[in-house]
Structure 1
């Protein structure tokens, strides 16, 4: 499927005419229909994707997922682990401060997974 055909398809799903899409993006309707012969600038593709609420990769046929989600990696470490080196704002936390932080955390009441006090 080409950039033009994907754009037409998703515009139709969104109930938007090609003329309306072109006006929102700031290009001519005939310019869109030239995409089969001349690829538009990346900035134009991004504007079209934004108006249609899809990713540029979807428009370009790199994925069939309209709005792929990213998975964020969560780092988790046990602060009570003696092997763990702590830092704050790019500077190492001294063992004394680390012990003080752990002591403060130990005085906190137990909480459930939602942060509510048990």
Structure 2
């Protein structure tokens, strides 16, 4: 299985297309498709791994452990700095969460960690 195949599989689990993943990662059209035949550079590989919450080794096929969905603590996310990359851990139907919804979540869960 190639890096591209693993990315495609992870995208499908999020009900996303590979093109949508490229957009979310800030990559050009067919950038991920090129990973069928070549190993991506380290920075892009790391970016994709972080986005899907998997290890670089998983994407490279060195670690066959299937990624496991983990519980997301909204209070923890809401209290992250404003520049935190929400798209790496949360989505809305497989799509990025709109900024206005992120702001609502921030307000709802702000500082709930100390309660």
Question: TM-score, length-normalised on structure 2?
Answer: 0.53
SS at match of 1:15: coil
Q: CA RMSD in A?
A: 1.7
Higher relative contact order (CA 8 A, sep 6+): 2
Question: TM-score, length-normalised on structure 1?
Answer: 0.52
SS at match of 2:63: coil
Larger Rg over CA atoms: 1
What is aligned with 1:63? 63
Q: 1:56-93: CA deviations, max 9, x gaps?
A: 1111100111459xxxxxxxxxxxxxxxxxxxxxxxxx
Matches within 5 A, 1:35-50: 35-50=35-50
Gaps in structure 1 of 5+ consecutive residues: 69-118
Query: Aligned partners of 1:29, 1:60: CA distance in 2, in Å?
Result: 21
What is aligned with 1:4? 4
Structure holding more helix per residue:
2
Gaps in structure 2 of 5+ consecutive residues: 69-115
Matches within 5 A, 1:9-48: 9-48=9-48
Query: Aligned partners of 1:45, 1:35: CA distance in 2, in Å?
Result: 10
